[in-house]
Structure 1
Amino acid sequence: MSDTALEALGLSAGFGGREVLQDVSLTLKAGEILCLIGHNGAGKSTLLRVLFGLHRPSAGTLRVFGATPASYTPAALGAAGVALVPEGRGVFPDLTVDEIFGLALWSAGVPSSGQKERIEEVLEVLPRIREFRTRRAGTLSGGQQQMVSIGRALLTRPRVLLLDEPSIGLAPKLFQDLIRPIAALRQSRGMSILLVEQNVREAFAVSDRVLVMRSGRFIFEGAPAELDDHAKLMELF
């Protein structure tokens, strides 16, 4: 198996004639947590949408564990082992947590005989979900909805997890309690994680490497410790 989980080469993408990503290339190593930061509008969410097949690039190529996906669609990227936790959670407010999980398992083509095992795997990582499995997602707190969104992604047993701003609307302590067990999946499952995050202190604590994006391009790559100097960090923004 390739030691590179996700490789993007020369990606460009935009909306309505406006270019958002400009010749972007990145490598996510197997078992690595890579943190992507940058100012609002830098192109971070667009990049994750392209990497999950929600937005087709105008140029560039993508490989997952050394193989080119069958197509640039969520179904093909999901089959290749990629999962996305979108910004804003994206849960169905009128469905219960169990119904959301059931829909995700059906969409992933998991047979009914294996669904209970998948759910138990998620509950081992995020045990607090047990407390509100029968509640409608619209009645849950922001932190609870985020757990559901992450749990839904983990049901597919991804090898690459794309996390888009998971701390939005969460207290720092709650985000810490949420990100630590997710980061631990690197050891227990060999999962690779691309984390887009503005809470740099907590994100850097679990990351191996940092990329900084500005105006659709990468302007810095290095270890989190290289950005311990707050003044240097602010210069990059």
Structure 2
Amino acid sequence: MNAVTGHAAPPALEVRGLTSGYGGREVLSALDLALPQGEVLCLVGHNGAGKSTLLKLLFGLHQASAGTIHLRGRTIQPRPDAMAREGVAYVPEGRGVFPGLPVRDNFALALWSARLQGAEAEARTEEVLTVLPRIREFWTRRAGQLSGGQQQMVSIGRALLSRPSILLLDEPSIGLAPKTFQDLMAPIRALQQKLDMSILLVEQNVGEAFAASDRVAVMKSGRMIFNGVPADLSDHARLMEMF
């Protein structure tokens, strides 16, 4: 709620009637979804439901054939460079790192890209290493020599350096043991609440993801079939029935 106008803030990101696909095959079909300002929305669905395609559309890595995308109430045509300037960070599924460079140089490149230097760059680095302290353990190692889970931490850490207002996370649990994923999500959740960040989290590990989420949306075959809160799906049998 805006204290000045008394009106609810527009969603951080919203799509209306979004349709898209690849090579004539439709992946998203007239999709509607809103990511509320300052909340974590967990998006779940079967493989091939279109979840990753949606994140690529929101960051400008793929184009819609119909529908609109809105950033804080404004209709936009997303492009990666413009979205980054607007405070949107995207962590793709898999390994978003430069494998031949040490972790510290991966961070240095992210700081350079965000035009951060000097004391501010050092402060941002320390902030991320406080949130993800295990990165210190492999700070000087080449990113390509790390385990999948360690690379995932580095990828998320690089995204957090810019202190984004909106974070798009695609399957961050890939390559992580359940306990490691829990250790990852808890500090990210704390940082999200501290900075009033909006997070769209695509995740299959629903137990840990729901624990760190305010809302849940379920996709099936390119359409939205459920929108609610984690407690609505505390009975996992109900969630499985949707697939």
Q: TM-score, normalised by structure 2?
A: 0.92
Give the corresponding residue for 1:5.
12
SS at match of 1:213: strand
Give the corresponding residue for 1:136.
142
Give the corresponding residue for 1:223.
229
SS at match of 1:34: strand
- Taking the aligned partners of 1:46 and 1:61, their CA distance within structure 2 comes to 15
In structure 1, stretches of 5+ residues that fail to align are none
Cα displacement (A) at 1:109: 2.7
Matched, 1:36 2:46: no
> Which runs of structure 2 are paired with 1:197-208 in the superposition (5 Å)?
197-208=203-214
- Taking the aligned partners of 1:12 and 1:185, their CA distance within structure 2 comes to 33
Give the corresponding residue for 2:111.
105
SS at match of 1:135: coil
SS at match of 2:120: helix
Over residues 91-123 of structure 1, what are the superposed CA-to-partner deviations in whole Å (9 max), with x where a residue is unaligned?
Answer: 111111111111112222334553222211211
- Taking the aligned partners of 1:83 and 1:27, their CA distance within structure 2 comes to 17
**Post-superposition, which runs of at least 4 consecutive aligned residues in structure 1 deviate over 6 A?**
none
Cα displacement (A) at 1:226: 1.4
Cα displacement (A) at 1:173: 0.5
Pick from 50, 54, 57 the counterpart of residue 50 of structure 1: 57
Amino acid at match of 1:186: Q
Q: Is the 8 A contact 2:186 2:212 kept in 1?
A: yes
SS at match of 1:4: coil
Matched, 1:65 2:72: yes
Cα displacement (A) at 1:3: 4.5
- Taking the aligned partners of 2:171 and 2:20, their CA distance within structure 1 comes to 20
Cα displacement (A) at 1:139: 1.2
Cα displacement (A) at 1:142: 2.0
- Taking the aligned partners of 1:102 and 1:61, their CA distance within structure 2 comes to 35
Structure 1 vs Structure 2: percent identity of aligned residues? 67
- Taking the aligned partners of 1:197 and 1:58, their CA distance within structure 2 comes to 25
Pick from 103, 122, 130 the counterpart of residue 124 of structure 1: 130
Pick from 179, 188, 202 the counterpart of residue 185 of structure 2: 179
- Taking the aligned partners of 2:146 and 2:169, their CA distance within structure 1 comes to 20
Amino acid at match of 2:65: S
- How many residues in Structure 1 have an aligned counterpart in Structure 2? 236
Q: TM-score, normalised by structure 1?
A: 0.94
Matched, 1:153 2:159: yes
- Taking the aligned partners of 2:191 and 2:59, their CA distance within structure 1 comes to 20
Matched, 1:211 2:217: yes
Give the corresponding residue for 1:78.
84
Matched, 1:23 2:30: yes
Cα displacement (A) at 1:89: 2.3
Q: Is the 8 A contact 2:149 2:174 kept in 1?
A: no
Cα displacement (A) at 1:66: 2.2
In structure 2, stretches of 5+ residues that fail to align are 3-8
